Chain A
Amino acid sequence: DQQVKQNSPSLSVQEGRISILNCDYTNSMFDYFLWYKKYPAEGPTFLISISSIKDKNEDGRFTVFLNKSAKHLSLHIVPSQPGDSAVYFCAVNAGNMLTFGGGTRLMVKP
């Protein structure tokens, strides 16, 4: 009964191309969505967020898109860089508690 799902455990992309990471959620009442990046042996690092009143939020190379009707959000990284190689987690913030997806390992090849 996972409320937040990342169906792709891994993704490989060439440097300079676009990386698209996807996330689905089950509860249409969720209002706040976040993306975290995690390097090995480190804690997750906050990347970007979006509220349900918006459908797009952009910060430099990172853009998060929210499709409320499909209960789907995605993170676009363009252009992708080798340093972006990490595990990416989407999360929803409900009641000041984060519920995470299982993560997608992104590998950006030089």
Chain B
Amino acid sequence: EAGVTQFPSHSVIEKGQTVTLRCDPISGHDNLYWYRRVMGKEIKFLLHFVKESKQDESGMPNNRFLAERTGGTYSTLKVQPAELEDSGVYFCASSQNRNPLYGYTFGSGTRLTVV
């Protein structure tokens, strides 16, 4: 089966611009998550979709970040306007199983650099 696909793999944008990250989860996975790793620190939760509904968005840093999952398939994460501190690696993950001992499958991430 195809894994979790993220696009683009790298993005360099100027402060104040808009960037949209895309995630295609494993087909049939209802659960989709966004995480990010800033400055080589720990990986932090951003939000969780179940199908097209936001289950938990407690990790979203501020209202410059908007995530959508129309139709319950792929998801986008838009940052508008981007700030320098938004630089980092954004990971998407998906799972079908809600068993907390069953790890998610992560994508390779999008490395975002804001200059």
- Quick one: which of B41, B48, B103 contacts A36, CB cutoff 8 A? B103
In chain B, positions 3-58 with a C-beta closer than 8 Å to chain A are 4, 31, 33, 35, 41-45, 48, 55-56, 58
- Please state if B100 and A96 are interface contacts (CB–CB under 8 Å): yes
In chain A, positions 64-110 with a C-beta closer than 8 Å to chain B are 89, 93, 95-103
Interface assignment of B80: CB less than 8 Å from any CB of chain A: no
List residues of chain A with CB within 8 A of the CB of B33.
97-98
Whole-angstrom distance between the alpha carbons of A36 and B58 in the complex? 23
List residues of chain B with CB within 8 A of the CB of A4.
42
Interface assignment of A62: CB less than 8 Å from any CB of chain B: no
Name B residues whose Cβ lies closer than 8 Å to a Cβ of A: 4, 31, 33, 35, 41-45, 48, 55-56, 58-59, 91, 93, 98, 100-109
In the complex, how many angstroms separate the beta carbon of B93 from the nearest chain A beta carbon?
A: 7
In the complex, how many angstroms separate the beta carbon of A25 from the nearest chain B beta carbon?
A: 12
List residues of chain B with CB within 8 A of the CB of A50.
101
- Please state if B42 and A101 are interface contacts (CB–CB under 8 Å): yes
In the complex, how many angstroms separate the beta carbon of A42 from the nearest chain B beta carbon?
A: 5
8 inter-chain pairs at a CB distance below 8 angstroms, sorted by A residue, are A41-B108, A43-B91, A43-B109, A44-B91, A46-B103, A96-B31, A98-B33, A100-B42
Whole-angstrom distance between the alpha carbons of A93 and B35 in the complex? 14
- Please state if A102 and B101 are interface contacts (CB–CB under 8 Å): no
Whole-angstrom distance between the alpha carbons of A103 and B42 in the complex? 7
Give A5's nearest chain B residue, CB to CB.
Answer: B42
List residues of chain A with CB within 8 A of the CB of B43.
44, 89, 98, 100
In chain A, positions 34-76 with a C-beta closer than 8 Å to chain B are 34, 36, 41-47, 49-51
Number of interface residues of A (CB under 8 A): 27
Name A residues whose Cβ lies closer than 8 Å to a Cβ of B: 2, 4, 31-32, 34, 36, 41-47, 49-51, 89, 93, 95-103
Whole-angstrom distance between the alpha carbons of A34 and B100 in the complex? 9
